Structure 1
Amino acid sequence: MTKRIQAKYKIDRRMGENIWGRSKSPVNTRDYGPGQHGQRRKGKLSDFGIQLRAKQKLKGYYGNILEKQFLRYYKEAVRRKGDTGENLIGILECRLDAIVYRSKFVPTVFAARQFVNHGHVLVNGKKCNIPSRQIQAGDVVEIREKSTGIPMVIAARDTAERDIPEYIALSGNKATFVRVPTLDEVPYPVVMEPNLVVEFYSR
């Protein structure tokens, strides 16, 4: 099950941004933080605060990944050749639950994690219930035949809130992961700053 231990829209309100681009986000009507002190005037953030916020926003976007796992992704991004920030985005976008979400099989990234956990997804024809599984270029992710009629799946297909990116080729209930995307290719509704995340961890 999901490790989220707080209402997901509190992440939106704490960041002050509609990070998933959803019409239901309370940030659209309440652009201040949650809780009884949310409307207090905000002080200027330090460099550390800016870096921390960038990290929390990126973590929150992918279903509020646990810190231990997110740090592991960062270390893997450092180990790989090339720009560490770009590598980190690539690793996050290769997660199975991220691809299920990008393919519009489900309405939210939190639903994607639960959807995979409950065994509704096949990878290359075999059932997989591990949301964090790293998908490789050329892998095919599909919804099990008996799960295609779930109302949530039908509703997700019809939503106009987001489009399927070019690095995923959709054919019916099957999505082929074409390639690992760059930061510019990922359709984030808000600006993500993986360079600040790298600065945060490299202090």
Structure 2
Amino acid sequence: MSKRIQAKYKIDRRMGENIWGRPKSPVNRREYGPGEHGQRRRGKTSDYGLQLKAKQKLKGYYANISEKQFRRIYDEAQRLRGDSSENLIGLLERRLDAVVYRAKFVPTVFAARQFVSHGHVKVNGRRANIPSMRLKVGDVVEVRDKSKQLGLVLEAVDSPERDIPEYLDVDHKKLTASITRVPALSEVPYPVMMEPNLVIEFYSR
């Protein structure tokens, strides 16, 4: 089990928010941070602290992407035309693991990363096992035939916990999904407020 997976329960508590909106989040029981100093009173957060938290929250939401990988996505968002913060969200939402999670083929974004890594999905008919793979509008993601009866998949499809966003076209009978357009920040169903503009400010310092 990777360090990333083991740390996922600490991310919510460190942020002080239930960033995935999961009923089992430890924040639902303990709103203070993890560790022996977690209950200390927190002073006023600086501008830098707010920007850092916004970055850590967005990075953590997408299965705790590595800093190196997240910085590359930021650099690409800066090079694209238009609003950099909107570009950042558009790039993150077109990751293969993010689409698998949004399509409700698996219950969590961490499960989506593992699901893709283990070769359970195809993109445009070809096997794909790189979670960070960038999809284009119209690309078709499909759960492989031998994986369609996995308990993980059946549980996620039947779960009423999340809704499928409008920028995805999903068929749960065939277990296929495709991106119909690059989403704007306002369209992405984050359970908590994400502030990509602060992420841009953090890296622009």
Q: CA deviation at 1:139?
A: 0.5
Specify the alignment match of 1:137 in structure 2.
137
User: What corresponds to 2:19 in structure 1?
Assistant: 19
State the match for 2:73 in structure 1.
73
Code of the residue aligned with 2:196 in structure 1: it is: P
1:92–1:3 distance in 2 versus 1, CA, 3 Å: farther
Q: 1:107 to 1:125 in 2, by over 3 A?
A: same
1:54 and 1:152, CA in 2 relative to 1: closer, same or farther beyond 3 A?
A: same
Shift of 1:5: 6.1
Per-residue CA deviation, residues 80-106 of structure 1 (Å, 9 max, x unaligned), is: 000000000000000000000000000
Aligned to 2:196: 194
Classify 1:164/1:2 alpha carbon distance in 2 versus 1 (closer, same or farther; 3 Å): farther
Relative distance call for 1:178 and 1:6 in structure 2 (3 A) is: same
Q: Which residue of 1 aligns with 2:167?
A: 167
Q: Give, in whole Å, the separation in 1 of the partners of 2:77 and 2:105.
A: 28
Report what 2:88 is aligned to: 88
**Counterpart of 1:178?**
180
Runs of 4+ in 1 over 3 A off after TM superposition: none
Q: Give the Cα separation in 1 of the matches to 2:195 and 2:161.
A: 22
Report if aligned partners of 1:3, 1:64 keep a CA contact under 8 Å in 2: no
- Structure 1 segments unaligned to the other structure (5+ residues): none
CA RMSD of aligned residues (A): 1.1
The gaps in structure 2 that reach 5 residues or longer are: none
Which amino acid is 1:186 matched to?
V
- Provide TM-score, normalisation by structure 2: 0.97
Aligned residues: 203
SS at match of 2:4: coil
Tell me the SS of whatever aligns to 1:106: coil
- Local SS of the residue matching 2:201: helix
Which amino acid in the other structure matches residue 183 of structure 2? P
Q: Which amino acid aligns with 1:121?
A: V
Against the structure 1 CA distance between its residues 2 and 125, is the aligned structure 2 distance closer, same or farther, given a 3 Å change threshold? farther
- Write out per-residue CA displacement over residues 63-117 of structure 1, whole angstroms, 9 at most, x where no aligned residue: 0000011000000000000000000000000000000000000000000000000
Name the CA shift for 1:202/1:113 in 2 (closer, same or farther; >3 Å): same
Q: Deviations over 1:157-195 (max 9, x none)?
A: 111221000011111201111111000000000000000
